[in-house]
Structure 1
C-alpha cells in the first residue's frame, strides 16, 4: 500500500499506524510452551521486569486461580507490547503487538476458536521432541478455517531428544504445511547456543553467562555450520521463488539477493497462506524469542495486508469492511467476561472506524443500541482506560448489556453483520443442584453468567426430573465451571455423575403423518401434515424443505409446522436425546377453514416427526474421541489391550526414539478416569491427549445398557 493511501486510513491521533500494528495469537498443543513463550515476549518487550513461570504459578497471562493451581491456560488472555526490530525492512520502527495467549487443552478449544476469528496472524508453537501433537492439528485446522497466516516456533530445543528437522518434517506430514526453516539452530539439547538467520546469513550467539537471554552477538556463522546454512539458504530461496516472480527472476539470472529481498518474499508468501517459516528456540532457557518477535514484525500481516472483512446486510447481500479510521465503526464482539470490578466486559475487535468512550453503537441482531461507557485495553487481568480505539485495535467495552459472543456492533445507520465464530457441540453433561435453598438463586445467576461467557457451556433442565443439567466439552471443563461457581459466585452445589451427550439419527428414510384434531364445543383445533425424512451424513446438520403445492397447507401455517418439527427433534424416540443429521420435506397436509391455527399445525409437525422417527429405524450416536497415547515401548502391549477393551480402534502406531505413539478412536463413554488408568499401566511414564473426532453409531449390545441407566428415556 502506498504511503499516501496508508496515511489516508490512519487517524493522526493514533500512536501506531495500521502498518505498524500486529494482532497475533500464540496457539499450540497443551504443554508445548505457549504461555512461557508469551511471558518471554513480555519480558523482552519491557512489559514485565521479571519473567513469570507457569510451574511457579507466576505467569502474567495465567491470571485465574484455577490456571495457577493446575499450570494450564483456561481462558485466552489479551495483552499488548511494543517491539523494535534491529534488522530487516522495519529496523528501528516501533511496532504495537497485540497478543492473545490461547489454551492448549481440548476442553477449552472455544477460546482458541474465537481468538483466531479476530486475529491477523498467529505463532504456532511446537515441541522439538514430540513434533506435531493432536491438539496442534486441531489448532492448525482452526487457523486454516479462518485463513490466518502463521509462523512456527519449534520450542524446547534444550530438551533431550530435541530434533528441529524432524519437527519440521512432522509439520509437513501431519499438517500438510509448506514449512521451511527461516532460522537454523546452532547445537541442540544442552549444546543449543544460538540461531542462524537464513535471510541475512548471520548467526545470533547467546552469551552463556547471561541466563536471561538478553545478551547475544550477531556475526559470522560458525565454520561447522556454514555448509548446512548455505544448503538451507538455497532451499529457502527455491521455495520462495514459487511465490515471488521478482525474486525468482533475480535468482535465475544469478543476481545477488539481499537479506531484505528474501525477507520481503517470506512476508509475501506467508501472507498468502502458502508458506510457513519455522524458527527454533527454547522459551524456558530464554533463547530464540527475540527472533520470533522480529519475525512477527517482518513476516506476519498487519490489518492493511489482509483482504477486506466480509459480512452481510439484513437482506443477505455481501458487504465488505476495510480498516479505515475515518469510516463508520464496525467490529465484532468475540468474547464476554464477568469482571469483579467493572461488571460485564465485551472483548471487541475494531475492523473500521474510531470508537470513543460514550459512543452509541447499533446491534443488528437485536435492533437495539448500546452505549459504551468505558473503553479498556486489557493486560491479562489488569486493565487500562483509553479514550479511543482505532481500526485494527482489540479492546474491551464496558456498558454493553444485550450482547452475545459473535455479535456485530456498528455505528447507527450501518447495516452489516460480520461472520461470527462457530463452536463445537458439548459432548458431556451432568446434573447440578444447590446445596441449600439459599443457593438456588445464586446458582441460577452464576450459571447464566458463565453460559454468557462460554458458548460451549450449555445450561438446560430435564423435563422429567426437573434437574438442572450443565453440558460442556469435557470433565475438566465442567470441573472448572463448578470451581468458578464456588469461588466467584459463592455457590455451594452438588454435581451428579458425568453423562455423555448422546445424539439420535434416522437409520433409513421414512414418511410421517401428524394430525391434531380437538373438538370440545365452539371453535375446535385442526392441523394435518405429511412429511418425508431422510438421513444425512454425519455432521451435516438439519435441513427443512417446504414442497407444499396447491395450498394444501396455507402459507401462514407452514412455518409453525416446521417449528414443530424442529421442536420434536430435541427429543428422539430411542432415549430422548436430540436428533441430528436429517432432511425433512413437508409435502402434503390439509386444513380446516375455521378450526385450523398455528398451534394446531405446530402440534401436527411434532406428531408427524415422531411418526416418521418410529418408522425410520432410529439409531443412537455417541461422541468418539481421537486419543493419542505416548508410552515407553515396554508398556505398549498393556496400553493397546486396555484401549481395545474400551471399544477403541487402533489407527496407527509410530515408533519414535525409545517410545511409541499409539493413535486410536475411542468412545468418550469409555474414557472416564483414563488418566489414572494410563498412569497405573505405565508406572506413571505414559501420557495421553484426546479431542472430539465425530459421532458414531452405538453398537446394539451397548444401547441396552445405556437405556437402562439413562434418565432421559421417553418410552
Structure 2
C-alpha cells in the first residue's frame, strides 16, 4: 500500500474511509465466457436490480448491461457499460466490457481507468485467444486482478486444467482460493480455503448462503489445497514466507492480508470458482473483490506536467487536492454528448468550471450523473477515485480535465491500428445524417476511422474486423435512418524492401523565370523486422557533410520521403520498414527551393524502390476455433483452404480447439462457412498478430490489379 501509507497523515479521515470502501473494477474475458451474466448476478445479489434477465432473453428484456437493441439481438456486448452498486459497506463501480476482439478499444479504455479487474474464464474452454489479449491489456496498465472460473456446471468442467493454463500460457501465479462442492450438474457451492468453511447456495436464485463445516469427503483435499495456497503465497510474500520456513501456520487475517499485498503487487492471482448462470459462487467472489482488489488510494497514478517538460507527477487521491480527471469514453446520449470521467484527485461538482488541458477551453459542468447501464442518476458532486459522467461537454476520448491550477495531463490509452476497410455510400441521395453519424462514431471510437480516397473519391471506413464495421453500418440504419451500400473490404497491406538500393536523382524544371533544381544522393535499406517501430514505421537519416545541400532544405527532403511512403509504388499501400539515408546532393543558388527538394526526394525514393526488391506484406491473424470433434476434418480443411498454418490442436471432451495463423485477406466470409460446416455449433475468434510477406503469385495479382485500376483512372480523366 505504498501510496496510502504516505498519505494517511494529510487525508481527511472521512475521505480515507470512503476511499478504503471503494472499488473500481472491470469484468473482462474471452467472448462467451459469461461476463454479462456474471455482472447481472452481481447487480441482483447486491440489490441493484430486482430480477435476473438472461443475455439472450426469451422474455424480451435482456441483461441489464446490454442496453443496446443490437446487443440484445446478437447476444454479445458491443459497448462497455458502467454501473455502481454496494456490497456490505463497500461501494463498487463496475464496467462490463465486450469479449469480441473487434471491440477491443472498449476493454482498453476501461482498463485504463480501473484499479482492479475480474478475469473470467470458462471452466471448459480455459485460456482462449481473447483471454490472452485481455491479459496483455491488464499487464499494459498494471491492473491487479482476481480470476473467476465460470461455467463450473458444464459437462467437462476442469478448473485444474484452467489454472495450469493460466500458469503456462499467461505466466500468472494463479492459485485456487476455493474448491467446488460437487461437479457439473451436481454443483452445490464452494469450500473457502482461506477461512476453511463450506458455502452452500440455497433459495430459488441462490441468494441465501448457508455456511457449514467442510464435508468429510472433501476435508483432506481442502487441507491439501490450503497447504498449496500457503506455499504459493509464501513464495511472493515475506511475512508468510517467514512463517512457512518456521513451519508455523498463518492466521486467517495474516493470510488474507498477505494475499491482498501480493495481488496488489501483481505477483499473485486469487482464483475463485462458480457458475454465474446457475447462481453459484458469485457472492464469495464479491467478498474476494473487497478483500483482495485495491482501493483507489492504493494504486499509484501519475500525470505529466506540461509546464515542466512532461515530467511525471504522482497524483494524490485526496478529494481536497486540485482536480485531475480523465474522459475515457464518449457516447451520444438523449441530451447530447455523454462523457464518462474518472476522477483521479480532487472533487468534481455540478456548476464547477473545469479546463480541458488539450484545448485550453474552460467548460461548465451543468449536469453530473452516475451511470447504471443506460439509466442515470443525478449527483451534486463526486470525490476522487469515482467514475461518473458529464453532459454537454465537448471533448475527445482521452482528454484530461483539471481545475486549472496545474498544467497536468494524463497519459492516453493505447489505440490499436485498424486492419480492415470498406467503402461506404448512402443508398439513395446523401443526407446530412450520413456525415453526422460517421463523425459521431469516430469521436466515440478511436479505432473507427473515416477518410475519403483521393483517387476514387469514395468514403472509406476502417476498423478492427468485419463485425466491427458491420455493427456501425447497422447502427447508421437504426439510429440515423441511413441505409448504406458497402464495397469490398480492403485489407491493410503494407509494402517494404528487402535489399539496399542507391539513388542519385536530380529534379530540374525550367520554364522561364525561376526554375526548380534539387539533387539528392544516398540509398534506401530495409530496417530489421524486430527494429520496426509501429508509431514510426519508416526512418529518415541525414548523413550529409558540408553545405552541398543547405540545412534549410533537409526537412523538405524528409517530408518528401514520408509523403512517398504514404503510397507505395507497387499497390499504393503504405510503405513500412524502410530507412532513407541522405548522403549528398547539390543545390542551385537561385533555382533551389523546398518544393524542388521535396519533389526530388519523392522521385528518388520511387526510383530506388524499383531496385530494392520490394515485397508486399499482409496482416496475419491468430485464429482460434472451437468446434465439436465430429467436424474436426472439415474445419482443418477450411483453415487449409484459406492458406492457414495450424499451430496447435487440443481436444477438450467433445470439442477440439484449433489455433492457426491465417492471412486476413483469406478470412472474409469465414464465419458463414464455419457455421454451415458445423451446423452452427462452431465458434471462432481472431486477433491481429503481425504483417508477413504474401505469396509470390498473390503479389503478382495485387500489383496487376493496382496497375489496371490506375490505367482505368487515367482513361477516365481523359
Coarse TM-score class (shorter-chain normalised): over 0.9
CA distance 1:281–1:147, change in 2 (3 Å): same
Structure 1 position 528, deviation (Å): 4.2
Structure 1 position 625, deviation (Å): 1.2
Cα distance in 2, alignment partners of residues 360 and 181 from structure 1: 49
Structure 1 position 386, deviation (Å): 2.3
Structure 1 position 154, deviation (Å): 0.3
Cα distance in 1, alignment partners of residues 339 and 542 from structure 2: 39
SS of 1:43 mapped into structure 2: helix
Moved more, 582-591 or 497-506: 582-591
Question: What's 1:334 paired with?
Answer: 328
SS of 1:17 mapped into structure 2: helix
| 2:428 pairs with 1:436 | yes
Q: Deviations over 1:580-608 (max 9, x none)?
A: 23333444444444444444443334333
Q: Please list, as runs of the form range in 1=range in 2, the aligned pairs for 1:203-242 lying within 5 A after superposition.
A: 203-207=198-202, 210-242=203-235
Moved more, 283-292 or 251-260: 251-260
Q: Confirm or deny: 8 A CA contact 1:575 1:713 kept in the other structure.
A: no
| 2:670 pairs with 1:674 | yes
Question: What's 2:337 paired with?
Answer: 344
Q: Please list, as runs of the form range in 1=range in 2, the aligned pairs for 1:79-90 lying within 5 A after superposition.
A: 79-84=83-88
Structure 1 position 235, deviation (Å): 0.7
Q: Please list, as runs of the form range in 1=range in 2, the aligned pairs for 1:114-263 lying within 5 A after superposition.
A: 114-207=109-202, 210-263=203-256
CA distance 1:593–1:51, change in 2 (3 Å): farther
Q: Deviations over 1:13-49 (max 9, x none)?
A: x696222211111000000000000111111111111
Structure 1 position 195, deviation (Å): 0.7
Cα distance in 2, alignment partners of residues 132 and 199 from structure 1: 25
Q: 1:450 aligns with which of 434, 441, 455?
A: 441
Structure 1 position 356, deviation (Å): 2.4
CA distance 1:310–1:523, change in 2 (3 Å): same
Q: Confirm or deny: 8 A CA contact 1:204 1:219 kept in the other structure.
A: yes
Question: What's 1:564 paired with?
Answer: 560
Structure 1 position 145, deviation (Å): 1.3
Q: Confirm or deny: 8 A CA contact 1:195 1:280 kept in the other structure.
A: yes
Question: What's 1:35 paired with?
Answer: 36
SS of 2:146 mapped into structure 1: strand
Moved more, 584-593 or 403-412: 584-593
Structure 1 position 300, deviation (Å): 0.7
Count of residue pairs brought into register by the alignment: 700
Give ranges in structure 1 of 5+ residues lacking alignment: 85-93
Q: 1:308 aligns with which of 298, 301, 304?
A: 301
SS of 2:8 mapped into structure 1: helix
Question: What's 1:6 paired with?
Answer: 8
Q: 1:426 aligns with which of 385, 405, 418?
A: 418
Question: What's 2:627 paired with?
Answer: 631
Q: Confirm or deny: 8 A CA contact 1:531 1:609 kept in the other structure.
A: no
Cα distance in 2, alignment partners of residues 575 and 470 from structure 1: 19
Q: Confirm or deny: 8 A CA contact 1:26 1:101 kept in the other structure.
A: yes
SS of 1:8 mapped into structure 2: coil
Cα distance in 1, alignment partners of residues 243 and 506 from structure 2: 77
RMSD value over aligned CA atoms?
2.4
Question: What's 1:51 paired with?
Answer: 52
SS of 1:262 mapped into structure 2: helix
Cα distance in 1, alignment partners of residues 96 and 52 from structure 2: 16
Cα distance in 2, alignment partners of residues 374 and 229 from structure 1: 52
Q: Please list, as runs of the form range in 1=range in 2, the aligned pairs for 1:321-400 lying within 5 A after superposition.
A: 321-339=315-333, 341-400=334-393
Q: Deviations over 1:513-570 (max 9, x none)?
A: 5554444444444444445433231653323444444344444443333233222222
Q: Confirm or deny: 8 A CA contact 1:163 1:188 kept in the other structure.
A: no
CA distance 1:389–1:133, change in 2 (3 Å): same
Cα distance in 2, alignment partners of residues 555 and 348 from structure 1: 46
Q: 2:261 aligns with which of 268, 280, 283?
A: 268
| 2:488 pairs with 1:497 | yes
Cα distance in 1, alignment partners of residues 675 and 296 from structure 2: 47
CA distance 1:597–1:326, change in 2 (3 Å): farther
Cα distance in 2, alignment partners of residues 548 and 355 from structure 1: 55
Question: What's 1:406 paired with?
Answer: 398
| 2:72 pairs with 1:72 | no
Question: What's 2:715 paired with?
Answer: none
Q: Deviations over 1:248-285 (max 9, x none)?
A: 22333344422111111111111111111100010001
Q: Confirm or deny: 8 A CA contact 2:357 2:409 kept in the other structure.
A: yes
Cα distance in 2, alignment partners of residues 551 and 385 from structure 1: 67
Q: Confirm or deny: 8 A CA contact 1:574 1:713 kept in the other structure.
A: no
Q: Deviations over 1:140-165 (max 9, x none)?
A: 11111111110100000111111121
SS of 1:165 mapped into structure 2: helix
Q: Deviations over 1:55-101 (max 9, x none)?
A: 115111111111111000001111111111xxxxxxxxx11111110
